[in-house]
Amino acid sequence: MTVDNPYDDPDQAELYDLENPWGACDDYYLRLMTAAESVLDIGCGTGTLLAAARRDGHPGELVGVDPAGAMLAVAAAKTTEVSWHRATAEELRLGRRFDLITMTGHAFQVLLDDDAIRAALATFRAHLAPNGRIVFETRNPTARAWDVWDAAPPSTVEVQDGRAYRVDYDVIAERGELVEFAENMVWDSGETVRNVATLRFASLERLTELLTESGLAVDHVHGAWDSSPVTPTSPELIITAHVPDTAKR
């Protein structure tokens, strides 16, 4: 069975947290969220970060946005003390501003062309408070993560009800900055689910150009979740940006 959009499939959404347990990326973002008075997480998925921020005592406004209703249903089951909204990064307009705007989980990579990125950046800027910060990450294209996915052996995911499945990845095609790939899930019952997706691996140079064009300036870029600088082999491009004073006038 092939699933067109696993994030909007209730069965697949329930498995997301099992395949993506808490890690160094979550620690990185949670520290930022804890220090911000208000947070807008665009592409919040199952809401793990915002739920953790509230659970840890964040007193301010926390808002999560995602285009997938199934993912938001999982998020809403975690906490009702976060405001959840269904929308894409391109179309969102809440009429409010936030001290921190995040886009986590490599969600930025589903913006497949420059126009989609421009629209998302316009959304970020429309919701950013004075002196606020935008933080998002995308995989570093020079590290070619998709080669590792293609070569890696299957891993096993165990579900709480005692079932298990094996998951591996196939790269289908490379087209410039776009990589099409499939996630193959083989359950112990023999059922097979294939999820096909495309991600954009934009260069730091192009991202910087698009940010500048959108009236945003880069504060810094980290190459990994330990805040190390970017090198050709760094797995990530973790970008922090703001609206410069000259653009605010």
> What pLDDT is recorded for position 3?
46
Q: How confident is the model at residue 152 (pLDDT cuts 50, 70, 90)?
A: very high
Q: With pLDDT > 70 as the criterion, what percentage of the chain qualifies? A: 96
Q: Which CATH architecture has domain 2-139+202-248?
A: 3-Layer(aba) Sandwich (3.40)
Sign of the CA dihedral 230, 148, 145, 26? negative
Angle CA 99–102–103, to nearest 5: 160
Residue 42 CB neighbours (<10 A): 26
User: Is the pLDDT score of 158 beyond 80?
Assistant: yes
Q: How confident is the model at residue 92 (pLDDT cuts 50, 70, 90)?
A: very high
User: Is the pLDDT score of 248 beyond 70?
Assistant: no
Angle CA 5–6–10, to nearest 5: 115
Q: With pLDDT > 90 as the criterion, what percentage of the chain qualifies? A: 90
Q: What is the pTM of this model?
A: 0.94
Domains of the chain by residue range:
2-139+202-248, 143-200
Query: For 102-114, how does the pLDDT look when each residue is reduced to its tens digit (9 = 90+)?
Result: 999 999 999 999 9
CA-to-CA distance for 230 and 223, rounded, in angstroms? 4
**CA 51 to mean position of chain CA atoms:** 16
Query: Strand pairing partners for 136?
Result: 103, 239
Residue 58 CB neighbours (<10 A): 21
User: Is the pLDDT score of 2 beyond 60?
Assistant: no
CA-to-CA distance for 238 and 137, rounded, in angstroms? 4
**Across all residues in the chain, what is the average pLDDT?**
94
CB 39 within 8 A of CB 102: yes
User: Is the pLDDT score of 86 beyond 70?
Assistant: yes
> What pLDDT is recorded for position 249?
44
Q: How confident is the model at residue 4 (pLDDT cuts 50, 70, 90)?
A: low
> What pLDDT is recorded for position 161?
86
> What pLDDT is recorded for position 247?
59
Q: How confident is the model at residue 94 (pLDDT cuts 50, 70, 90)?
A: very high
